[in-house]
Structure 1
């Protein structure tokens, strides 16, 4: 009888451990990195706090569905890979691709359609293909990778980096470069708001992408949980409404 009671207590302790661990995980904030080089419609910060933008609202909705409060960290792009690999101060970052962010990370189901565009000012002849830009300075964003351009131009891909897409477009408008690479979603957003006056040829599509969230291998959030949250958002239309809000 004594032996049986001992086993029962041990079984109860073992059964309580996963629940206790799960409760502890729920109390931890979901630590979401925001790349410091992005801007609206992806993210907007005020006094160091995340206040708006697609990535901000997306992370907040994921956190709500996981039962986790969200803590945002605005960090330089170069720090993102190591912070996610370490997992001490970061659980995830969203709107990335594995080719942009190599490392031992877990990747969610893709959810967001975008494209990289090569823009050319009308003061120059239009480009029919990427190779025609070889050797010419091209406006780019510092820290961003452009594997298709690297493949097409190799050493003749001449980058002219700026801190973000808006600064890149302003350089194009001022004639400091004749070509620039920007994401379609950001470009459309800035053009609709008249942020920069540009006269452009029809853009060349460098690549079409479907981005995802990168999850730290040390995160207390499981990949299956993250995928389930995104799948539910796709199924109930909340993700589509969020995308439309920032188009």
Structure 2
């Protein structure tokens, strides 16, 4: 009977950032619904941790970064350390072992592919990119910004740039999903991988006690094939 009077202990909850700008197939945010590779990664991770993981409601990217910096959001999945190298972000960040590797590829206008071996081969060229995104080697080429990945592809297809840079999984996902990419005026040629980034969970430094558990959970998801199965759902 005494147990009835023992107060329940609430499990700690960590909230991970979700932005209102989707990054398909990593984050698919539509009408308030959240799906995608990284959302599924967080769900699987939550099953292996002694702490509850909750998604934030979709936020503007800069707002999400501000809330992380202030500690109101505790996790960001999954980003490259280079993407959060600003001192005000770096000083509050701890990083897990890599979760996934993202690869950027070139897209060419039909029949206009050029030889590529290093980022120096982009020097002086006009390259289609997404406004607000950072790119390796950006100082060597002239950016031609589009609003999103679809706009980037169209710029390349129409010959308004020498090439475009897009995430490989994003490109493969859009090829299956977006019927416009089958139309002649949207056609492009797929080129080589030009850059790879290790995507990691970013944990706020005030919650460092969870870093070891997160590393162990990520390694177990890699070893038992969970991560590979998640990626295959969206980019077979």
The TM-score bracket by the shorter chain reads 0.7 to 0.9
CA change 1:217–1:54 in 2 (3 A) is same
CA contact under 8 A between 2:105 and 2:190: conserved in structure 1? no
1:234 lines up with 2:217 in the alignment: no
1:99 lines up with 2:82 in the alignment: yes
User: Which structure 1 segments of 5+ residues have no match?
Assistant: 1-19
User: Which structure 2 segments of 5+ residues have no match?
Assistant: 1-6
- 1:152-197, Cα deviation, whole Å (9 max, x unpaired): x1xxx22222333233213323444342110111111112335424
User: 1:64, 1:164 → 2: CA distance?
Assistant: 33
SS at match of 1:168: helix
SS at match of 2:48: helix
Partner of 2:109: 121
1:182 lines up with 2:171 in the alignment: no
User: TM-score normalised to the size of structure 2?
Assistant: 0.79
User: 1:229, 1:200 → 2: CA distance?
Assistant: 39
1:140 lines up with 2:140 in the alignment: no
Partner of 2:23: 39
CA change 1:168–1:240 in 2 (3 A) is same
1:165 lines up with 2:154 in the alignment: no
CA change 1:71–1:208 in 2 (3 A) is closer
Partner of 1:54: 37
1:78 lines up with 2:62 in the alignment: yes
Aligned residues: 217
User: 2:68, 2:39 → 1: CA distance?
Assistant: 18
CA contact under 8 A between 1:38 and 1:164: conserved in structure 2? no
User: TM-score normalised to the size of structure 1?
Assistant: 0.76
Partner of 1:7: none
What is the Cα-based RMSD across aligned positions, in Å? Answer: 2.6
CA contact under 8 A between 1:120 and 1:201: conserved in structure 2? yes
User: Of 189, 204, 207, which aligns to 2:195?
Assistant: 207
User: 1:81, 1:147 → 2: CA distance?
Assistant: 21
User: 2:60, 2:131 → 1: CA distance?
Assistant: 10
- 1:100-148, Cα deviation, whole Å (9 max, x unpaired): 1121211111021221112221253524354444344321122221133
User: 1:124, 1:59 → 2: CA distance?
Assistant: 40
CA change 1:78–1:43 in 2 (3 A) is same
